[in-house]
Amino acid sequence: GAGMTKFGELWDMSLRDLFVDAALKAMSDAGVDTLDSMYIGNMSGGQFVGQEHLGPLMADHLGVAGVPAMRVESACASGGMALRAAYFEVASGMSDFVLASGVEKMNDGADVTGVLATASDQEEEVYYGVTFPGLYAMIARAHMEKYGTTEEDLSWVSVKAHRNGANNPHAQFRRVMSLEDVMTSSVVAEPLRLLHCSPVTDGGAALILCPADRAHEFTDQPVKILGSGAATSTLALANRMDPADLDVVELSGTRAFEQAGISPRDVDVAEVHDCFAIAEICCYEALGFVERGKGKDAAKDGVTDLGGAIPVNVSGGLKSKGHPVGATGISQAVTIVDQLRGKAGDVQVDGARIGLA
């Protein structure tokens, strides 16, 4: 089962409201009213809204007090790692019904730039004034120097994102942006402009996992997890071998492909992390969808568009759909579930059978 809230500046919903709304939608979709366990992906509830210890809080407000519940923190990968933990618990045979969820409430007055900066290296980066837009600007500059990527190449990624997001009822920004709109938006951290950057977002998303041999009890459209890969890179950008390459994406992708027994060519639709436009371009290359150095042309040439060779971020991605940090990884998986069930509406990829988040 899968469910998510609308994404955006949701002033009338609290952190717990967002979680409960998404979780109830997933449970309803799955047709289950009990859980054996639950994982809550969340980057920084303590700094955004002053709330830590989310496990018992969310179990209580979902009406399942007593169920083991754990908060999972891994910055922007919090939701993805919550899903991975839930997957392991079900696959081990320990539990049959596990909730994998993610939630973030970012618009309640916190210094968002400062909170997000806690996910970078405090001593080697933050102390000297670096922010995440600054870090990704350096990644963009490195990619430009190495492969000849231009600001226009970055901008086509944003144009595609908004074109897809305009058709996503959950998206924060449901409006089309032209190439001129993107390239004339204000500079945030050169060469990144405002419309190359994901927004500040509230939202929640949730999935219900069960053993594959029981899925037929609940749905005639089961979606199987074929493989899961995870990895880490050095936290400080300056310590990486090549700032233009996302080695951690390549490593985690390779591990997932190997477990699933497939290659990048077998993927029909993908949701990747486009917190900034350059990140999506780097993901194309790191995941093997295009050759190194060819990522800059993929969005412009329609390779990753709906109807292209490998549709990427048909949801609108973080750029248009929004980026409530802890919920993002789960929302990507929800999008893939909808695609594989043929329920993605105007952004449905015809015949999608294998998806990647």
DSSP string, 246-295: -HHHHHHHHHHHHHHT--GGG-SEE----SBHHHHHHHHHHTTSS-TT-H
Q: Which two tokens stand for residue 46?
A: 């303590």
Kind and range of the H or E run holding 41: strand 37-41
Q: What is the pLDDT of residues 33-48, one digit of tens each?
A: 999 999 999 999 999 9
* pLDDT band of 109, cuts 50, 70, 90: confident
**Is residue 278 very low, low, confident or very high in pLDDT (cuts 50, 70, 90)?**
very high
Q: Is the pLDDT of residue 340 over 90?
A: yes
Just list the catalytic residues. 76, 323
> Above 90 in pLDDT, residue 228?
yes
Query: What mean pLDDT, rounded, does the chain reach?
Result: 97
pLDDT in tens, 17-70: 999 999 999 999 999 999 999 999 999 999 999 999 999 999 999 999 999 999
Q: State the burial class of residue 128 (Cβ atoms within 10 Å of its Cβ: 0-12, 13-18, 19+).
A: exposed
Cβ-proximal residues to 63 (8 Å cutoff; 6+ apart), any chain: none
Q: Summarize pLDDT for 302-335 with one digit per residue, the tens.
A: 999 999 999 999 999 999 999 999 999 999 999 9
Cα 17–chain centre separation: 20
Q: Which residue has the tokens 């993927």?
A: 267
Q: Which residues pair with 193 in a beta bridge?
A: 187
Whether pLDDT at 249 is above 90 = yes
Closest of 199, 125, 113, 209 to residue 158, by C-alpha: 199
CA dihedral of residues 156, 158, 160, 162 (deg, nearest 10): -150
User: What's the whole-number mean pLDDT along residues 177-203?
Assistant: 98
The contacts found for 64-70 with CB under 8 angstroms, 24 or more apart, are 64/34, 64/35, 64/38, 67/35, 67/36, 67/37, 67/38, 68/36, 68/37, 68/38, 69/37, 69/38, 69/39, 69/40, 70/38, 70/39, 70/40
The widest CA-to-CA distance across the chain, in whole angstroms, is 56
Is residue 170 within 8 Å of residue 141, measured between CB atoms?
Answer: no
pLDDT tens, residue by residue, 144-176: 999 999 999 999 999 999 999 999 999 999 999
Residues whose CB is less than 8 angstroms from the CB of residue 171 and which lie 6 or more positions away in sequence, other chains included = 7, 165, 315, 316, 320, 321, 322
> Tokens at residue 152, please?
């226009």
